[in-house]
Amino acid sequence: NAGVTQTPKFQVLKTGQSMTLQCAQDMNHEYMSWYRQDPGMGLRLIHYSVGAGITDQGEVPNGYNVSRSTTEDFPLRLLSAAPSQTSVYFCASTRGLNSPLHFGNGTRLTVT
Amino acid sequence: QQQVKQSPQSLIVQKGGISIINCAYENTAFDYFPWYQQFPGKGPALLIAIRPDVSEKKEGRFTISFNKSAKQFSLHIMDSQPGDSATYFCAASKIYNQGGKLIFGQGTELSVKP
C-alpha cells in the first residue's frame, strides 16, 4: 500500500501564479484533509472532506480551493499564489472518528 | 487564537533520560488527545492517544498523562534514545467533529544526545 501520496515534493511559484497540489490515498478512507505547517505554528487545517462531493473550510481556508470528486483524490488549488502561502503542505486521510490521521510526506512550496 | 499550547519549543535530553513535553488546551469540548511524531522530510505519524476518561496511558517507553481539571496533558518519553530525535506535536479534537479535524500544538523539537 502506498498510503497517502502527494505530488510534487517541491515547488517554486511566482506571486500570482496558480497551481494544484495533488493528493491521493489508496486506503479507501472517507475523510481527507489539508494542513499547512509553518515554524512555530504547528499544523493548521486548511480544508477537509468527509466524503466524495463534500468539503468544508478549516482554520485557514483563504486563498485555497478544494474539491472531492472521488474517494481517492483531494487536490488543493492555489488560485493566485502569495508569499504568505510559502509553507509545507500536508494531505491526510482517516477512516473515521478518532482514528489515526495518515499523512503524506508533504509538498514544500515557496512563493517568491 | 491558539487553542492548544505546547511547550517547550525545543528540548535537549541525554540518552537514557526522560523527555517531557507539555500541552494545555482551552476548549472543554475536546475529548481526544493524540500525539504525533515527525521525522525530517516526513509527514507526522500517530504515536499515542488518550481520551479524558483515563488519567494515564502507557505504550512502551511513551506515556501520556492527562489532567482534565487543569486542561493539561503531557508526553513522557522514558529512557530517551537518539532515534527518538524528532518533532512532536500534541493535538486535540471533538469526537463529534469527525475525523481529520485536529487542532495541533506548535510542536517540540526533541534532540537526544548520545
pLDDT, tens only, B5-15: 999 999 999 99
**Tell me, what's the pLDDT at B52?**
87
CB B87 within 8 A of CB B107: yes
Q: Please give the Cα distance from B67 to B62 (Å, whole number).
A: 17
Taken in order B101, B102, B103, B108, the sign of the CA dihedral is negative
Look up residue B82 and give its DSSP letter. Answer: G
Report whether pLDDT(B27) > 80. yes
Q: How many Cα atoms occupy the beta-carbon half-sphere of B55 within 13 Å? A: 3
pLDDT in tens, B29-73: 898 999 999 999 999 999 999 988 899 999 999 999 999 999 999
Neighbours of B16 (CB within 10 A): 11
Parallel/antiparallel/unpaired status of strands B86-92 and B103-104: antiparallel
* pLDDT, mean of residues B16-38: 95
Q: Where is pLDDT greater, at B101 or A109?
A: A109
| Among the listed residues B81, B32, B77, the one whose alpha carbon sits nearest the alpha carbon of residue B59 | B77
Low pLDDT (below 50) residues in chain A: none
What pairing do the DSSP bridges indicate for beta strands A19-25 and B103-104?
unpaired
The separation between CA B55 and the C-alpha centre of its own chain, rounded to angstroms, equals 14
Q: What's the confidence (pLDDT) of residue A79?
A: 92
**Is A41 in contact with B106 (Cβ distance < 8 A)?**
yes
Taking the Cβ of residue B80 and every Cβ of chain A, the question of whether any pair is shorter than 8 Å is answered with no
Q: What is the pLDDT, as a whole number, of residue B49? A: 93
pLDDT of B98 reads 61
To test the contact with chain B by mutation, choose from A57, A101, A103, A108 the residue with the greatest count of B C-beta atoms within 10 A, namely A101
Amino acid B101: pLDDT: 87
Strand ranges for chain B from DSSP E: 4-7, 10-14, 19-25, 33-38, 45-50, 56-59, 62-67, 72-77, 86-92, 103-104, 108-113
Residue A29: predicted pLDDT: 94
Position A23 scores a pLDDT of: 98
- Give, in degrees to the nearest 5, the angle at Cα A85 between A56 and A109: 105
Q: Confidence class of residue B96 from pLDDT cuts 50, 70 and 90? A: low
Task: Determine contact, residues B69/A72, Cβ cutoff 8 Å.
Answer: no
For residue B100, the model assigns a pLDDT of 73
Q: Which residues pair with B34 in a beta bridge?
A: B49
Q: How far apart are CA A68 and CA A50, in angstroms?
A: 9
Q: Hey, are the CB atoms on A40 and B34 less than 8 Å from each other?
A: no
Place of cell 481556508: A61
The single-letter code of the amino acid at B94 is K
Considering only CB atoms, B43 lies closest to which of A45, A98, A104, namely: A104
pLDDT at B99: 66
Question: What integer is the mean pLDDT of B76-99?
Answer: 89
Per the prediction, chain B carries an average pLDDT of: 93
